Amino acid sequence: MKKVIINGKEYKAEEGTPLKDILIELGMEFPCGGTGRCGKCRIKAKDVQPTEKDRKFLSDSAIEEGWRIACDKIADDYELECKLTDAVKRRELGACNIIVSIGVKEIKIGIADDEIAEEVTVVNPLYDGNGISGICENYDKNGKAQTKLLRAVLAKESIELFEKYGKAKSETFAVAANGIFLKILTGIKLDEKDIDFNAISDGHNFDLPTEEVYFLPCVGDYIGGDILGETVNCGDNTIIIDCEELFVAVSIGKDNNEAVAMWDMSYDEVGLKAVRAVVKLLRKEGFTPFVRLYGEYAEKVEKIIAGEGLEYSFYEKKLSNPAKVLGGLRYRAKLNKEKSVTSEINVLNSEEFHKYFAE
């Protein structure tokens, strides 16, 4: 899967996808239909190597400035700027809802009725490069400003989606996030415990363009609704491992789940040693789980899982899973059940973890 950043927003594409297919969907005009005859589909992408078509239509100085022709390019891991129009015809929404998943580095925002119609990925404005600890420190210092900043980004991106689909606001604004981000979004102090976020959302839209805000349940400060949304879709004897700066692992059992979180992870030698200890901690005697790996550092963790002799596969967290809460109470009840049977292990106080870490 490739990640191309267009005008500051991330879009994902299968390997080999023509860039023009993505740009046409977003509203870029290709006067000759993308056949390479006019040279007017110009983008600015300095990281893309010039092609013969670029040299045919562009001067040396324009190429040096980063200008390229879009029609012969393949979507890849690079960043570009281009001019988009509003001419794209999008499907009519039967209802209008927003679903948001807040991560440490990125925020995914989608517009949906029965299913996701479109989603965008933006940088989390709270992230300053210092991990979840830096986010918490900044919130402790200047909480109101951080809350306002997060709400503003969610509102802005949602409104842009509304404008594309001819909507004014959403019926439901569903948020999947861990307890830290839910506290920041709602303006609650970080040291408060056991909060029912949906109880405080009654009659409060938190400056978001919606009639109702619904918070997917989370466990403690670090296990969010995005992970619980994945556990609903997994069978017993599964370990979910989210390999980001905020590392989360959840072991799904027949009657209960066990979860572990470690933050500001660098995945260096010490970090991977801690990951290995977590896997051993969650893998009970006689328990041979299947492992689902998510996240930016999944390939580094893969070696540990393979070394433990476990079967595994790479996955991507999708907005379509938490978006199921928009369909009614049944899925919300499933999430609440997952929360009720999930307990968090504090690895700092776990003798068993330290034993495995020392091995």
pLDDT value of residue 88: 52
Mean pLDDT for the stretch of residues 299-311 = 95
Q: Tell me the C-alpha distance between 356 and 145, whole Å.
A: 42
Q: Are residues 108 and 21 in the same domain?
A: no
pLDDT value of residue 286: 74
pLDDT value of residue 340: 95
> Which residue among 30, 53, 80 closes a domain?
80
Percent of the chain with pLDDT over 90: 72
Q: Are residues 131 and 161 in the same domain?
A: yes
Q: Are residues 129 and 188 in the same domain?
A: yes
Q: Is residue 89 situated within a structural domain?
A: no
Q: Is residue 121 situated within a structural domain?
A: yes
pLDDT value of residue 86: 58
Q: Are residues 208 and 251 in the same domain?
A: no
Q: Is residue 62 situated within a structural domain?
A: yes
Q: What is the pLDDT of residues 191-221, one digit of tens each?
A: 999 899 999 887 889 999 999 999 999 999 9
Domain range enclosing 263: 225-358
> Which residue among 215, 233, 258 closes a domain?
215
Cβ-in-10-Å burial (0-12, 13-18, 19+) of 318 comes to middle
| H helical segments located in 175-297 | 179-186, 197-200, 225-231, 269-282
> Which residue among 170, 195, 215 closes a domain?
215
Mean pLDDT for the stretch of residues 70-97 = 85
Q: Are residues 162 and 60 in the same domain?
A: no
Give φ, ψ of 329 to 5 degrees.
-80, -20
Number of domains in the chain: 3
CATH assignment of the domain containing 193: 3.30.420.480
pLDDT value of residue 147: 97
CATH assignment of the domain containing 56: 3.10.20.30
- Report whether 115 contacts 133 (CB < 8 A): no
Q: Which of 218, 222, 226, 217 is nearest to 295 (CA)?
A: 226
Q: Are residues 232 and 344 in the same domain?
A: yes
Q: Look over the chain and give the mean of its residue pLDDT values, rounded to a whole number.
A: 92
pLDDT value of residue 269: 95
Q: Are residues 75 and 122 in the same domain?
A: no
Checking if the pLDDT of 270 tops 70, the result is yes
Cβ-in-10-Å burial (0-12, 13-18, 19+) of 68 comes to buried
Q: Are residues 237 and 344 in the same domain?
A: yes
Checking if the pLDDT of 105 tops 80, the result is yes
Percent of the chain with pLDDT over 70: 99
288-292, 295-299, 317-321, range with the lowest pLDDT: 317-321
Checking if the pLDDT of 85 tops 70, the result is yes
Mean pLDDT for the stretch of residues 76-82 = 94
pLDDT value of residue 37: 79
Checking if the pLDDT of 179 tops 70, the result is yes
Q: Is residue 87 situated within a structural domain?
A: no
Q: Is residue 289 situated within a structural domain?
A: yes
Q: Is residue 220 situated within a structural domain?
A: no
Q: Is residue 319 situated within a structural domain?
A: yes
**Taking the mean position of all CA atoms in its chain, how far away is CA 79?**
19
Checking if the pLDDT of 87 tops 60, the result is no
pLDDT value of residue 50: 94
CATH assignment of the domain containing 238: 3.30.420
pLDDT value of residue 19: 94
Q: Are residues 60 and 10 in the same domain?
A: yes
Q: What is the pLDDT of residues 131-177, one digit of tens each?
A: 999 999 999 999 999 999 999 999 999 998 998 888 999 999 999 99
Checking if the pLDDT of 190 tops 80, the result is yes
pLDDT value of residue 205: 92
Checking if the pLDDT of 333 tops 60, the result is yes
Return the beta strands (E) in 126-187 as ranges: 170-176
Q: Are residues 124 and 235 in the same domain?
A: no
Q: Are residues 73 and 128 in the same domain?
A: no
When pLDDT is cut at 50, 70 and 90, the band that residue 47 belongs to is: very high
pLDDT value of residue 89: 59
Q: Are residues 76 and 105 in the same domain?
A: no
When pLDDT is cut at 50, 70 and 90, the band that residue 26 belongs to is: confident
Q: Is residue 209 situated within a structural domain?
A: yes
Q: Specify the pTM.
A: 0.78
